[in-house]
Amino acid sequence: MKTVQEKSFSANSFPIVGHRNMWECLDFPGNRGLKRKTSSEAIIFFVTEGCISLSINDLGNHIIHRQEMFLIPDNCSYAIKVSKPANLISCSFGVETLLSEQKMIDELIPLYNDDRSDLVKLPINNVINDCLFLLKQCMRDGLTSHYFFDLKKRELFLLLFTYYTKKDLARFLCNILSENVQFRGFVMDNFLNARNIQELADMANYSTSGFIKKFQRNFKESPYKWIQRQKAKLILSEINEDAKSLQEIASEYKFSSYQHFANFCKIHFGSPPTGLINKYKSMDSK
């Protein structure tokens, strides 16, 4: 069986359609596989056609059937193999998406079980299936709107929390659900309000060193790198939506000057803000 590494994906391997690492539609021909590593984001996979064999961190050999979904936690390696044609849709998400349903998360925490030895699969119900069908069609039609795909991600979690029981969701999310979710929620709610790491630590009632240690345990990277990356994602979304002027965005994200904002964009996106606007306008006109 041929295994395709992530870095070697091409039109000569098998079709992958997606949107900026948020959603992907993967069509596997028979006798194929892939190996990947998750980043700081977890991934939910939906097997819409066929059957796959899955291992996580080189452990286990789980069989996932058609119309089943499963979750790969952040910072994990995983391998998928198929013997017959299969189709998967994946959704990558960070803690900010999970915390958008904070009230429901708070209700799941008492049901949380720290036994993470087994992969939890859930059936794809009719409502989720309809959501995925539209999403797949839009991806294959070449839709590129970041706003649309972000809305679909948030819609997915709303549907999960509406149509599945708390017990099933607690099991399904057990590998990313823990008592530290409140700490992660605090960070998500406040990281843009603090001028620096020390101020954020003070807001959380931690010493700076204690905050950094707890942060690295929860987010798997330093506070500075994580905050810069989150700001970059939010700013990119703001620019793409084109609802605010560049000066308004620079002011909202507390840049000391527009030039500082422009330099931030050059570092993180390889282009100044005006270049990004022109890029999105060009994409939308196609």
| Average pLDDT score over residue span 238-260 | 89
The verdict on 152 and 238 lying in the same domain is no
Asked which of 137, 154, 172 is the last residue of a domain, the reply is 172
How far CA 184 is from CA of 89, 116, 150, 214, 254, in Å, comes to 27, 20, 20, 10, 22
- Residue 143's domain comprises 2-172
How confident is residue 221, by pLDDT bands cut at 50, 70 and 90?
confident
Asked which of 172, 202, 222 is the last residue of a domain, the reply is 172
How confident is residue 28, by pLDDT bands cut at 50, 70 and 90?
very high
Instruction: Tell me the pLDDT of the chain averaged across its residues.
Output: 83
Number of domains in the chain: 2
Task: Note the pLDDT of residue 278.
Answer: 81
Which CATH number covers residue 43? 2.60.120.810
Q: What are phi and psi of 127, to 5 degrees?
A: -70, -45
Does the pLDDT at position 223 exceed 90? yes
Query: What is this structure's pTM?
Result: 0.63
The verdict on 144 and 194 lying in the same domain is no
* Dist CA 168 CA 113 (whole Å): 11
Asked which of 152, 172, 192 is the last residue of a domain, the reply is 172
How confident is residue 12, by pLDDT bands cut at 50, 70 and 90?
very low
How confident is residue 170, by pLDDT bands cut at 50, 70 and 90?
confident
The verdict on 194 and 160 lying in the same domain is no
The verdict on 189 and 259 lying in the same domain is yes
The verdict on 164 and 207 lying in the same domain is no
Does the pLDDT at position 89 exceed 80? yes
The verdict on 6 and 104 lying in the same domain is yes
Task: Note the pLDDT of residue 218.
Answer: 77
The verdict on 151 and 58 lying in the same domain is yes
Which CATH number covers residue 238? 1.10.10.60
The verdict on 6 and 148 lying in the same domain is yes
